[in-house]
Homo-oligomer: A and B are copies of this chain.
Amino acid sequence: MPVNSFDHYPMSWKPDKQELNRPFYKSLASLLEQHITNGYLAPGTKLPPQRELADFLDLNFTTITRAYKICEVKGLIYAITGSGTFVAPNATRSITISTDKMSNGIDLGFVASFEQTNSAVTDIIRTVANKSYLEQLLNYNDPTGIPHQKAAALNWIKGFGIQANQEQIAIVSGAQNALSIALAALFEPGNKIATDLYTYSNFIELAKMFHIQLVPIPGDQFGMLPDELEKQCSQINIHGIFLMPSCSNPTTVMISDFRKQELAEVIRKHRLLLIEDDIHAFLTAGIISDYQQPMFNLLPEQSVYICSTSKSICSGLRVAFMVFGDALREKILRAIFNINVKTSSFDAEVITELILSGKAHEIISFKKQLAQTANDIYFEYFPLRKNAGHPLSFYRWLPIDGQNDAWKLETDLKEHGIRVFHSDRFLSGQTTPEKYLRIALSTTNTFTELEIGLKILKEYLSC
């Protein structure tokens, strides 16, 4: 029996010892999972400290540690030494953003890529279909890309400041696929990766799937704070870092060059593996005056540089370029064979032809114009505030006040006919007081539709 009775003491969770079977740590973990999943324990709830619960249940406190750990790894709870253990903000549901279209209503949630430009791709597909070597694209050969495709890819990313050779690049099936490969190849379950406090929600889910823990690092308008990264690195064993320097998703922050240098120093010092998702390079390199270079250049031996063509050229052709240091090559290639076997040579060939013909650059110009117009429209409804972020971003990050229940807000807005995503979806760790909405500008079929959506949103928020 417990030494003390806690009946008079407020404890947020009092599991019934009767319900527990041996082994206790597993039984307790599944009971906790159940109580979180069925809503009995709400997100944000502080759980009893390990020692207190141990006392209550008359168990050794490290048994509680183990039970909590199981739930933490599943992403149900998170713990802060000194403060306590809390139910995670996204414990109850998946934050995966799928491309499933809304059946009706205006989609300002999922970020598409101004699909109007796809008509320019059809001609090139026909060109490739009539190539004499078409049959050569249909076998198992060249799993990571045919040499001339890699050459075109290298040429493409040279425009973004990357210098690499054929041995250092692989063509894979889109950025998300590249991220899966990088995580599978270079990390183990239980490893930790530093990310921005708000980051790409599918990366959060992917990390969860691979049982990799994310360590949120605060940032400002120039990007992640090096001191904060240094602090975490010196305290815990961090293995990698995920960044989108050209335009972070969802915050639209572009990491400034001085900040890149500072961050690179910390990354080098602690030997972190950098995963640089540069999907927005085409909106930044050579366009934004402050832009100098990708971080890959600063840390070529310990980085994976990922450059997808989904946003910049064509979303339906699943192609991304993956560049890596020589030391990482073997592991990454093995992961590619294990996860993909190969990427469609036909898709890669169409992208190649788009690049070589100059059509890809035309598409990009058009997309930039569309992005400019969409942003102009946005700022009419939600005027510029300070630290506005990337001017050509395909989405915007709108601060909102007092909308604490993320899921209710999303549902409410859906009833008003628009889909947007609440900042809680993008949280890599604990909750924050500030709340935002991510507003996709590149998904509606027309700008008129975009305007209608923004108008509805503005009216709803000013209520």
Residues of A within 8 A of B (CB): 94, 96-101, 110, 112-113, 115, 118-119, 121-122, 125-126, 128-130, 134-135, 137-141, 143, 173-177, 180, 184-185, 188-189, 202, 205-206, 209-211, 310, 314-318, 333-335, 337-347, 350
Q: A138-B316, A140-B112 are in contact. Are A338 and B100 (CB under 8 A)?
A: no
Q: Which residue of B lies closest to A101 (CB)?
A: B141
Contacts of A174 in B (CB 8 A): 340-342
A135 is contacted by which of B118, B185, B188, B209 (Cβ under 8 Å)?
Answer: B118
A176 near B341 with CB under 8 A, answer yes
Query: 9 pairs across A/B with beta carbons < 8 Å?
Result: A96-B338, A101-B141, A115-B138, A126-B129, A129-B129, A174-B342, A177-B341, A184-B210, A339-B339
What is the bound-complex CA distance between A5 and B149, given in angstroms?
A: 64
A318 near B337 with CB under 8 A, answer no
Q: Which residue of B lies closest to A74 (CB)?
A: B188
What is the bound-complex CA distance between A115 and B345, given in angstroms?
A: 15
With A318-B340, A339-B339 known, 16 other A-B pairs at CB within 8 A are: A99-B141, A99-B337, A100-B143, A110-B140, A121-B135, A121-B138, A139-B316, A176-B340, A176-B341, A177-B339, A180-B180, A184-B209, A205-B338, A206-B339, A209-B335, A346-B350
What is the bound-complex CA distance between A122 and B347, given in angstroms?
A: 14
Contacts of A180 in B (CB 8 A): 180, 338-339
Q: Which residue of B lies closest to A95 (CB)?
A: B334
Contacts of A209 in B (CB 8 A): 184-185, 335, 338
A318 near B119 with CB under 8 A, answer no
Q: Which residue of B lies closest to A112 (CB)?
A: B140
Question: Smallest CB–CB gap between A337 and chain B, Å?
Answer: 5
B135 near A122 with CB under 8 A, answer yes
A341 is contacted by which of B94, B99, B333 (Cβ under 8 Å)?
Answer: B99
Q: Which residue of B lies closest to A113 (CB)?
A: B140
Q: Which residue of B lies closest to A174 (CB)?
A: B341
Most buried by B among A129, A317, A341: A341
Question: Smallest CB–CB gap between A35 and chain B, Å?
Answer: 20
A315 is contacted by which of B110, B140, B205 (Cβ under 8 Å)?
Answer: B140
What is the bound-complex CA distance between A291 and B347, given in angstroms?
A: 37
Q: A134-B125, A139-B118 are in contact. Are A98 and B337 (CB under 8 A)?
A: yes
Contacts of A129 in B (CB 8 A): 122, 125-126, 128-129
Question: Smallest CB–CB gap between A93 and chain B, Å?
Answer: 11
What is the bound-complex CA distance between A309 and B370, given in angstroms?
A: 39
Contacts of A342 in B (CB 8 A): 99, 174, 316, 318
Contacts of A177 in B (CB 8 A): 339-341
A317 near B344 with CB under 8 A, answer yes
Q: Which residue of B lies closest to A94 (CB)?
A: B334
Contacts of A206 in B (CB 8 A): 338-339
What is the bound-complex CA distance between A135 and B316, given in angstroms?
A: 9
A188 near B173 with CB under 8 A, answer no
Q: Which residue of B lies closest to A207 (CB)?
A: B338
B189 near A346 with CB under 8 A, answer no
B345 near A347 with CB under 8 A, answer no
B96 near A138 with CB under 8 A, answer no
A140 near B99 with CB under 8 A, answer yes
What is the bound-complex CA distance between A134 and B345, given in angstroms?
A: 18
What is the bound-complex CA distance between A337 and B342, given in angstroms?
A: 19
Contacts of A350 in B (CB 8 A): 346
B94 near A315 with CB under 8 A, answer no
What is the bound-complex CA distance between A64 and B452, given in angstroms?
A: 66
A344 near B341 with CB under 8 A, answer no
